[in-house]
Amino acid sequence: MVLAGIILIGLLLGGRAVQLSVMEGGVHQALAAEQSSEPPVAAVGRGDILTSDGRKLATSLDRYEVVATPYLIDKPDEVAEALAGTIGPDTGLEAEDIKSKITERNASGSLGGYSIVGTVDPQTAEKVKSLGINGIDLSPTAERVYPDGMLASQLVGYLGEYGSPFGGLEARYDGSLGSGEDVSVTIDAAVQQELEGQLRNVMEKHRPKTAMGLVMRVEDGAIIALANTPGYDNNNFSEAKPETQRNRVLTDPYEPGSTFKPFTMAAALEENAITPESAFTIPDRIQVADRMIHDSEPHATEIMTPHTILEKSSNVGTIQVAQQLGGAGLEEYIRRFGFGEPTGIDLWGEDPGIVPAYEDWSGSSIGNIPIGQGITSTPLQLVTGYAALINGGTRVTPHVLEQEGKQEPGRRVISRKTSDIVRGMLQNVVANGSGHLAQIPGYTVGGKTGTSQKVDPETGAYAYRHISSFIGFAPASDPKYLTLIIADEPQTTFWGEVVAAPAAKKVLKFTLGYFNVPPDATETENDLNDVGVR
């Protein structure tokens, strides 16, 4: 019996030894690692957001949390002084701040078991480890930082304190970034800086509430730069006002005004309702149903062709063109160009804008919709529509994620012939018309100004507040890049040619030079581009 008992006890002890070494070995190894004197190695971090030229818009840095176990700490005053001298420069914490953290108490009033003192870099973590303080440990973590601060802040978005992304690329590609994958985007840092700099100049000179801008590659819809001003620094996200965090290029539709007129012209040309040589008798005002619509400036009755109508941005002439086409046909082409629906950009939060169905048009709709009133469009929709207008007539899908290989052409909207005609008209607008301040020596440039009134949300009527804009492209002979500048309620003047065109010119000129686009203007065209301010 004694021998049997000894054998039984031996078997039990042997089984327990196997359990500890094999079944629970991983747990005890982990516990041993936590007690190691070496700082633990940080886990795989979040992926970077990279511009097309290799700049980091967002990246994660290895950090260590200095963690206190208050009930294990003796002489908290001495510990607080020692830590302040070590981590103070990194964290901004003083001895009193640290003491309050290392003496935190739980709900029962006893000293707690866990308190984060601060976050430090690996070098400082080594210094904390060397102090050898009982009750002070290090825990690996990562800190999300934005090296260029305010650059493209609304587009990039923000990673919150607990790993929750807020807006932009951080939210849209959270799955990839969170798995440690880098995300490369079409944004070019140099062009983005130029765009944001010009928007700041517009803000300083004309004092609008906000300003927005966009640069797109015409061929495939790649977004080269996208900016909202005022912006904010994602490194100080908590200080940013909610209204500045929104990517208004995608989220805020507006009435585009005169920048919309080329779509009316393209639709009428495509349907053979007019020809480039059609002649229209244009007074300075026209009665449409119960509304009297004026041109921007009084003038004697003139004979105008479609070229002249766009060059002078005549409301009356554009309405007459639309009347030749008819409302149903115009609405069809507005939708063909992508208005009233999302563009399909690979970001979240896009507003589709509003295009009234033809059956809902009033008697005066044929007078306001052709000139960009009574409908709304986001800046992104407008630029995307222009790409189709001038690239030979096919839709593009705007995107910010780098794509491999050449993209397939989108849906055809208008013929190449119509696209060529309208592109020539828009070149004439810059050479001789309201867009003359966007001329770039050495290049043919096309574009259109816009000065649209805003609707008072309380009265539903147009108020004396304006959105000034200009959209331009170059080279006009073979468009490579499109630029849009928008200023909301400028205070000095409301004319788009004065507020927005000069900024668009500078952004477009920089972009052409930066990407080595060769000049295309002939001597005759350069002479046209020397036309002075009128």
Q: Are 73 and 105 in contact (CB under 8 A)?
A: no
pLDDT digits (tens, 9 = 90+) for 65-123: 999 999 999 999 999 999 999 999 988 999 999 999 999 999 898 998 899 999 999 99
Rounded to whole angstroms, the Cα distance separating 429 from 55 reads 37
Residues of the chain falling short of pLDDT 70:
1-44, 523-534
Report helix angle 261-270 to 379-390, nearest 10. Answer: 40
Q: Are 49 and 56 in contact (CB under 8 A)?
A: yes
Rounded to whole angstroms, the Cα distance separating 248 from 237 reads 17
Token duo for residue 280: 């229209």
Rounded to whole angstroms, the Cα distance separating 271 from 387 reads 20
pLDDT digits (tens, 9 = 90+) for 296-316: 899 999 999 999 999 999 999
Q: Is 178 helix (H, G, I), strand (E, B) or coil?
A: helix
Q: Is 155 helix (H, G, I), strand (E, B) or coil?
A: helix
pLDDT of residue 1: 65
| CA-based torsion, 365, 368, 374, 377: positive or negative | positive
* Helix, strand, coil share (%) of the chain residues, nearest 5: 40, 20, 40
pLDDT of residue 449: 96
- Taking the CA atoms of residue 322, residue 343, residue 398 and residue 321 in that order, the dihedral angle to the nearest 10 degrees is 0
